[in-house]
A and B are shown apart, each in its own frame.
Chain A
Amino acid sequence: MKIAVSGLLFLLVAGLSGGALAQANLSEGQRLVMQGDGQGGAPCQACHGADGAGIAASGFPALYNLQAGYMVKQMQDYRAGKRSSLVMAPAVAKLNRQQLEAVATYYAAQKPAPAPLPPLATESQVRGSKLATAGDWQAWIVPCEACHGPGNRGVGSDFPALAGQHPAYLKQQLLAWRDGSRANDPDQLMLAIAARLTPQQIDAVVEYLARLPAKGAQ
């Protein structure tokens, strides 16, 4: 029976053109974002917005600027307990792989127009820009760009875009790497760097990154 069902699914999927498939994925993603899993899980839009802009003051991350593959990996990590959040774990617990992909595809396609942040004080700008683009190698603080790519817009599905992310969320994550409450990085790549940053450096770099133009920003 299972074989018959997946066979049917395969035929269905194979029968759809690529464009139609993407469209179906998008509207399924939109449904999940707006309504949740229909089994009591919170709808994504409650915290991340329907347009994926997130909520800066609450530290709820923007998603529109992230790579779909990275979002899928994080949601899988919440499901598997590799990344912990009392909110995210139950929200994604009942979504299957296709649904996770649909949500991620939907959010990666959004193009909100967030209000620009006020300009940074020169000193923070200089300090933040240095860490993001040049690092502090003598202290073995690798520049963010070395892994997160040019303009910190992310690399593949493994190194998330940081550009345009809310500073409160970025800071919260750096502190979580430092104290070990977030540890789903391959080979402790992020722990190594986060633990070497001073509180002042963290404040400067997150404010700098938040002001970089995000992928897909209008």
Chain B
Amino acid sequence: MKSLLTRWLPLLCFATGVLQAQPQVPVKLPAFAEGQYVHTPPSPDTLASDTTLHPQLRKLIERGRDLFLNTQQLRGKNVFNDMNCQSCHLGEGGLNWSGPVWPAATTLPDFRGKNQRVNTLEDRISDCFIYSMNGTPPLAGSEDMLALTAYHQWLAKGAAMYNSKIGGRGYGHLGTEMPRQTSYANGQQLFGEHCALCHGDNGQGRREAGVVIFPAVWGDGSWNWGAGMSRVPALASFIQNNMPLGQPGSLTAQQAWDLALFVNSQERPQDPRYTGDAAATRELYKDFHNLTMYGLTVNGKVLGQHDNTGAKPFLRPPGLQLRPAP
């Protein structure tokens, strides 16, 4: 009797085009939904030769790109962890399914649920500094903020204004409902097999000659408890479409959920909105934290019930908008 595999293999090969001269790692990304438009930002090579830009503006955009790729140059001033903008926004912020940043330039100002007010592009970038970089934002109107906004806007060149039907935006293709069978233990094992080489056995990432090469995914060097990436569904979607590096879609959706649950059940710097009680902070910001593990008990400890702000010597940066306790 033929095994199932031998019986089906020729058909499978035919169907998937496996019969190739050389092995390849496919790029498997979700399909864009109907009615969405897809934007590809200009290639960075075109920036230096774009004569339609005033030289001063071009210099500013180049500065913005440099800050985006090497945000660690603001370490100790605006950034207090090991993250760069491009740690979460791969492809210099222009890659679909990797939280492309240009939509912030085409859809803002707009109301934002996270802070319950209308946000500008500067506000949105500021939030990345407050949460994902565990820091304090460059001031609106400062050279650094201007450079970053100019870079965002340049990436949006040719995209539609105030059209939010954007293909590949954000980190959301897996939805927000974590499957019931999602397993911390499986996530732990998968992390050891596929992630620890670059992100470290303790999630601490990797440096070479003092330079951050691979970002920390938990602990003091990582995003804080208020960052969008601490939401399990966001991390799961990011992982499936972007990790391991260069291999979108190589992990199954369930593997991505398991990994996201494991990683986001580890400790990280305090949410700057912390009231002194993680469970109460979770309740106050439950429209956000209902997707995180913050304030929940994992391995016998309440996640986020601590005063650790990582390398940042304060909890709240100036200008942070807080909700009044009920």
Contacts and interface: CB of A to CB of B under 8 A. Distances in A.
A149 B213 contact: yes
B24 A195 contact: yes
Contact of B208 (A155, A189, A196): A155
A134 B68 CA distance: 13
A142 B209 CA distance: 21
A138 B91 contact: yes
Interface string A131-167: 0001001101110001101100111101000000000
Contacts of B206: 155-156
B320 interface: no
A149 B91 contact: no
Contact of A138 (B22, B95, B211): B95
Interface size class of chain B, counting residues whose CB lies under 8 Å from the partner chain: 20 to 34
A188 interface: yes
Most buried by A among B194, B245, B248: B245
Contacts of B40: 138
Contact of A154 (B27, B92, B208): B208
Contacts of B27: 140
Contact of A187 (B21, B24, B91, B194): B194
A189 B23 contact: no
Given A140-B246, A189-B244, A192-B25, A156 B92 contact: no
A155 B43 CA distance: 28
B177 interface: no
B23 A180 contact: yes
A154 B94 CA distance: 27
B90 interface: yes
A179 B22 contact: yes
A79 interface: no
A155 B44 contact: no
Contacts of B308: none
A191 B211 CA distance: 26
Nearest to A178: B22
B184 to A, nearest CB: 22
Contacts of B194: 187
Contact of B247 (A130, A154, A188): A188
B248 A140 contact: yes
Interface residues of A, number: 28
Contacts of A150: 208-209, 211
A5 B43 CA distance: 63
A7 to B, nearest CB: 31
B192 to A, nearest CB: 12
A212 to B, nearest CB: 15
B98 to A, nearest CB: 9
Contacts of B213: 146-147, 149, 155
Contacts of B208: 149-150, 153-156
A142 B245 contact: yes
B74 interface: no
A16 to B, nearest CB: 29
B22 A189 contact: no
B129 to A, nearest CB: 23
B161 interface: no
Contacts of A191: 23-25
A155 B206 CA distance: 9
Nearest to A151: B209
Interface of B: 21-25, 27, 40, 43-45, 90-92, 94-95, 194, 197-198, 206, 208-209, 211, 213, 244-248, 250
11 contacts: A134-B92, A138-B95, A140-B27, A142-B245, A158-B197, A180-B23, A187-B250, A189-B246, A191-B23, A195-B22, A195-B25
Interface of A: 130, 134, 137-138, 140-142, 146-147, 149-150, 153-156, 158, 178-180, 186-189, 191-193, 195-196
- For the complex of A and B, the 5 pairs showing the least CB-CB separation, nearest first, are A137-B91, A192-B25, A192-B246, A195-B24, A180-B23
